[in-house]
Amino acid sequence: MASLEFKLPDLGEGLTEAEIVRWLVEVGDVVAVDQPVVEVETAKAMVEVPCPYGGVVTARFGEEGTELPVGSPLLTVAVGAAPDAAAAPGAVPVAVSPAEADSSVDAESSGNVLVGYGTGATVARRRRVRPVAAAGPVAEAGPAVVPVVEVAAARSAGPVPVISPLVRRLARENGLDLRELKGTGPDGLILRSDVDSAIRSKEQEPATVPAPASVPASVPVSAGASVGAGERVPLRGTRGAVADKLSRSRREIPDATCWVDADATELMAARTAMNRPAGPPVSVLALLARICTAALARFPELNSTVDTASREIVRLPGVHLGFAAQTERGLVVPVVRDAHARTVEQLGAEIARLTESARKGALTPADLTGGTFTLNNYGVFGVDGSTPIINHPEAAMLGVGRIVPKPWVHEGELAVRKVVQLSLSFDHRVCDGGTAGGFLRYVADCVEQPALLLRTL
């Protein structure tokens, strides 16, 4: 019998770590090839991770709530022999690589690379292996199975045992020397939890900065002494991904914003007329999405991205339209693929499907990546306007406020009309204000006179 170690695979799209949410198997369970064994939360989605090996689970690495970097062990599976043979007296499974396993191992391994959300194969019902009386119990391995070895001397000369770039950045931003930390991960790997612990220890150290002579002793010099007193919420999972993405957008993109008020009375009347026949209702968001694709066809500069390495603007051939959706897990931006080729009904159906998946927490990494332009309907929160932060690495985002009755001059007379504020944040590297203004004006014209869209249908 051989024991194969299944490591947390690369979940794609640049993700470097994941948090264990729920184990789907126990030590001693028999698993089938490609059976989901653990549910993890990445920065983008909840993912069930399938194991490419079939056999008996002999160890699990990490408790629920533990954050693991890509490449660290998840579990070991004994393969290549009957379950009873695994319980022979004194038998100790030895971890080997898939290349070193014999041909019997290959027969129980799919060889599949994780696709992020399961392989779609039929999963056999798992069963528990009953221990044989003469056999010793199989011990479940927690995160501390691999002993932490003191490597301080070696670190001074060798590389720092860190896989995740997020861990490096977190340490750098808080002034920590990674060479002085002892990792609790496999083979001394430094995890985010190690850096967080070091930051907390650093903040709890008493301040040693003396007060200036001009400041009375009774007046506190700085509020730094009370930094550790408040509640601390880790920036991880979806919240951490949002923080990283928005921070990067602000650092790298020289954005500008323009806005305009538009009379949406005719658009709302057109929507009412569309919803009279039997069939699925047409949403305002679907109409705005169709207006966006028509506007991007006229102003393709805004459906682009900037390749900073080659100093080139890359104009993208198709529109993959993202839309902001608020969920219990936080803000997510599902992407409607090939939005430029869809009708209003098709756009509405796909937006509805993705929104429902977002509410259930069932969006896949593929549903959340690859956008080229984002539509943000913050009007659902009851606000009129905003200055949207561009969804890096895109070049623009259209924001839509609430549609409310307001006084408006219509055909030379004052009337109460349904008015909406539209705002466009754009990357000033890809175009100038004239292009951005032309895009926003075209969107506003289509909102005020939906018949203009007939030209592009």
Residues in a beta bridge with 325: 332
For residue 85, the SS3 value is: helix
Q: Is 320 a catalytic residue?
A: no
Q: What gap in Å lies between CA 189 and CA 67, rounded to an integer?
A: 12
Residue 435 gets which letter from DSSP? H
Q: What is the chain's percent helix, strand, coil content, to nearest 5? A: 30, 25, 45
Q: What gap in Å lies between CA 105 and CA 5, rounded to an integer?
A: 12
Residue with tokens 């408006």: 408
The continuous run of DSSP H or E covering 168 comes out as helix 165-173
User: How many CA atoms does the CB half-sphere of 200 hold within 13 Å?
Assistant: 12
E-strand ranges in 284-392 read 304-307, 312-315, 321-323, 325-327, 330-332, 335-336, 373-376
Q: In what order do the strands lie in the sheet with 35-41?
A: 46-51, 35-41, 17-23, 67-69
> Which token pair is 155?
């670190």
Q: What gap in Å lies between CA 260 and CA 424, rounded to an integer?
A: 9
The continuous run of DSSP H or E covering 166 comes out as helix 165-173
Instruction: List Cβ neighbours of 58 (8 Å cut-off, separation of 6 or more).
Output: 3, 27, 75, 76, 77, 78, 86, 93, 138
Question: Closest by alpha carbon to 61, among 175, 144, 150?
Answer: 144
Rounded to the nearest 10 degrees, the angle between the axes of helix 284-298 and helix 344-360 is 120
289 contacts 351 by C-beta, under 8 angstroms: yes
Check 320, 340, 410, 428 and give the catalytic one. Answer: 428
Q: What gap in Å lies between CA 24 and CA 377, rounded to an integer?
A: 37
Which residues are catalytically annotated?
428
